[in-house]
Amino acid sequence: MKHITIKILIGVGIILGSFMNCANGPVGGFIYTGTEFPGEFNTLNNVASTKKAEGCTKSVLGLFTWGDSGVGQIALANKITKIATIDHSTMSVLTLVYRDYCTIVTGE
Protein backbone atom coordinates (compact mmCIF):
# COMPACT_ATOMS: atom_id res chain seq x y z
CA MET A 1 0.00 0.00 0.00
CA LYS A 2 2.86 2.34 0.85
CA HIS A 3 4.51 1.78 -2.55
CA ILE A 4 1.27 2.62 -4.38
CA THR A 5 0.91 5.89 -2.44
CA ILE A 6 4.50 6.86 -3.23
CA LYS A 7 4.00 6.05 -6.93
CA ILE A 8 0.81 8.13 -7.02
CA LEU A 9 2.56 11.08 -5.36
CA ILE A 10 5.47 10.83 -7.80
CA GLY A 11 3.03 10.67 -10.74
CA VAL A 12 1.09 13.70 -9.51
CA GLY A 13 4.38 15.57 -8.97
CA ILE A 14 5.49 14.83 -12.53
CA ILE A 15 2.14 15.93 -13.96
CA LEU A 16 2.07 19.16 -11.94
CA GLY A 17 5.74 19.78 -12.77
CA SER A 18 4.94 19.59 -16.47
CA PHE A 19 2.69 22.63 -16.06
CA MET A 20 5.61 24.82 -15.00
CA ASN A 21 6.67 27.60 -17.40
CA CYS A 22 3.81 27.01 -19.83
CA ALA A 23 2.86 29.95 -22.06
CA ASN A 24 -0.33 30.94 -20.32
CA GLY A 25 -0.42 34.68 -19.89
CA PRO A 26 0.16 36.72 -16.76
CA VAL A 27 -2.21 34.71 -14.53
CA GLY A 28 -3.76 31.29 -14.81
CA GLY A 29 -6.44 29.16 -13.25
CA PHE A 30 -6.53 25.39 -13.16
CA ILE A 31 -10.15 24.97 -14.35
CA TYR A 32 -10.45 27.93 -16.75
CA THR A 33 -8.26 30.84 -17.82
CA GLY A 34 -9.17 33.62 -20.22
CA THR A 35 -6.77 36.58 -20.40
CA GLU A 36 -5.78 39.38 -22.74
CA PHE A 37 -2.53 41.23 -22.17
CA PRO A 38 -0.45 43.85 -23.99
CA GLY A 39 2.67 43.08 -25.92
CA GLU A 40 4.76 45.46 -28.02
CA PHE A 41 3.84 48.77 -29.61
CA ASN A 42 5.41 51.14 -32.11
CA THR A 43 7.39 53.55 -29.92
CA LEU A 44 7.29 56.27 -32.58
CA ASN A 45 3.48 56.04 -32.46
CA ASN A 46 3.26 57.01 -36.14
CA VAL A 47 1.26 54.00 -37.39
CA ALA A 48 -2.53 54.06 -37.41
CA SER A 49 -4.44 50.98 -36.25
CA THR A 50 -6.66 50.71 -39.33
CA LYS A 51 -6.33 46.93 -39.69
CA LYS A 52 -6.57 44.24 -37.03
CA ALA A 53 -5.67 40.56 -37.44
CA GLU A 54 -5.33 37.60 -35.13
CA GLY A 55 -3.49 34.29 -35.35
CA CYS A 56 -3.82 31.47 -32.84
CA THR A 57 -2.00 28.32 -31.84
CA LYS A 58 -4.14 25.62 -30.24
CA SER A 59 -3.19 22.55 -28.24
CA VAL A 60 -5.13 19.52 -27.02
CA LEU A 61 -3.86 17.43 -24.11
CA GLY A 62 -0.39 18.83 -24.67
CA LEU A 63 -0.03 16.20 -27.39
CA PHE A 64 -1.41 17.90 -30.49
CA THR A 65 -0.62 21.49 -31.43
CA TRP A 66 -1.54 23.43 -34.57
CA GLY A 67 -1.90 26.99 -35.80
CA ASP A 68 0.27 30.03 -36.35
CA SER A 69 0.54 32.85 -33.85
CA GLY A 70 3.68 34.40 -35.34
CA VAL A 71 3.53 38.16 -35.87
CA GLY A 72 5.24 38.11 -39.26
CA GLN A 73 2.90 35.49 -40.70
CA ILE A 74 -0.20 37.24 -39.33
CA ALA A 75 0.89 40.59 -40.82
CA LEU A 76 1.81 39.01 -44.18
CA ALA A 77 -1.44 37.04 -44.48
CA ASN A 78 -3.53 40.12 -43.70
CA LYS A 79 -1.48 42.62 -45.74
CA ILE A 80 -0.38 44.66 -42.72
CA THR A 81 2.81 46.40 -43.83
CA LYS A 82 3.32 48.68 -40.80
CA ILE A 83 2.68 47.32 -37.31
CA ALA A 84 1.24 49.59 -34.59
CA THR A 85 0.66 47.12 -31.73
CA ILE A 86 1.09 43.45 -30.90
CA ASP A 87 -1.14 42.07 -28.14
CA HIS A 88 -1.82 38.57 -26.86
CA SER A 89 -4.65 36.50 -25.43
CA THR A 90 -4.82 33.06 -23.89
CA MET A 91 -7.57 30.63 -23.05
CA SER A 92 -7.20 27.28 -21.35
CA VAL A 93 -9.55 24.66 -19.96
CA LEU A 94 -8.27 22.37 -17.20
CA THR A 95 -4.78 23.77 -17.79
CA LEU A 96 -3.60 21.12 -20.25
CA VAL A 97 -6.80 19.67 -21.76
CA TYR A 98 -7.30 22.57 -24.21
CA ARG A 99 -5.14 25.66 -24.73
CA ASP A 100 -5.38 28.60 -27.10
CA TYR A 101 -2.65 31.26 -27.46
CA CYS A 102 -3.40 34.15 -29.82
CA THR A 103 -1.38 37.07 -31.12
CA ILE A 104 -3.32 40.18 -32.15
CA VAL A 105 -1.63 42.56 -34.61
CA THR A 106 -2.88 46.04 -35.54
CA GLY A 107 -1.46 48.44 -38.10
CA GLU A 108 -1.75 49.74 -41.64
* Average pLDDT by stretches of 10, the chain with 108 residues: 76 65 62 84 80 93 89 92 90 87 92
Residues 6+ apart with CB under 8 A from 20: none
Q: What is the pTM of this model?
A: 0.70
pLDDT at 21: 47
> Coil, strand or helix: which one is 10?
helix
